[in-house]
Structure 1
Amino acid sequence: MSVVYTVTMALLGAAVLMTTARLVRGRTAFDRIMAVDVLTVLLVSGIAVHAAARDEPANATILVVIALLGFVGSVTAARLAAERAEDGT
């Protein structure tokens, strides 16, 4: 099980690095918004893998809170970016 855990966390780490590069190099606000949303999903995935490997069900509350904050933040940022795009600024 530790090999699967290690490989999964390594792949998630690589995904975080690629997403961070997209966050920094994003040309539009929508690129950056999507990168932050993907980072949130990767964070939740990493916590879930860690909780499953350590058999700690107490992390479920943390997962729900982070997922909800990520969702609300993404929707808010997308609305703001859409309003700015409509205004032409």
Structure 2
Amino acid sequence: MIETMLMISLIIFGVAIAITLIRVVIGPSLPDRVISLDMIGVQIVSSLAIISIILKTQAFLEVILVLAILAFISTIAFSKHIERGVIIERKRDS
């Protein structure tokens, strides 16, 4: 019963990722695309967690953690780029 529910949830996450990917492609503005990319990252992390439960292993936990951190950092970098146009500021002393 639980395995069936987990498989159904994986299918639903797959559909959600496909719909979100469509939003990335046809998003009306750049902030919409950034939010969609962040949402895809969260959905992939959730899918990996479900796969880890199905396979009864803890091998994916490090991958989940690294992927979540990379998704968060990339969202911050995209947001800063949209706001200022520069991701890393270098202050030069004259």
**TM score, norm. by length of structure 1:** 0.90
1:13 aligns with 2:9: no
RMSD over aligned CA atoms reads 0.9
Higher helix share: 1
The Cα shift of 1:39 comes to: 0.5
Task: Tell me which residue corresponds to 2:25.
Answer: 24
Gaps spanning 5+ residues in structure 2: where?
86-94
Tell me the number of residue pairs that the alignment of Structure 1 and Structure 2 aligns: 84
The Cα shift of 1:2 comes to: 2.5
Q: 2 CA distance for matches of 1:37 and 1:69?
A: 10
**TM score, norm. by length of structure 2:** 0.85
1:39 aligns with 2:30: no
Task: Tell me which residue corresponds to 1:77.
Answer: 78
Gaps spanning 5+ residues in structure 1: where?
85-89
Task: Tell me which residue corresponds to 1:68.
Answer: 69
Moved over 6 A (4+): none
The Cα shift of 1:46 comes to: 0.6
Greater relative CO, 1 or 2 (CA 8 Å, sep 6+): 1
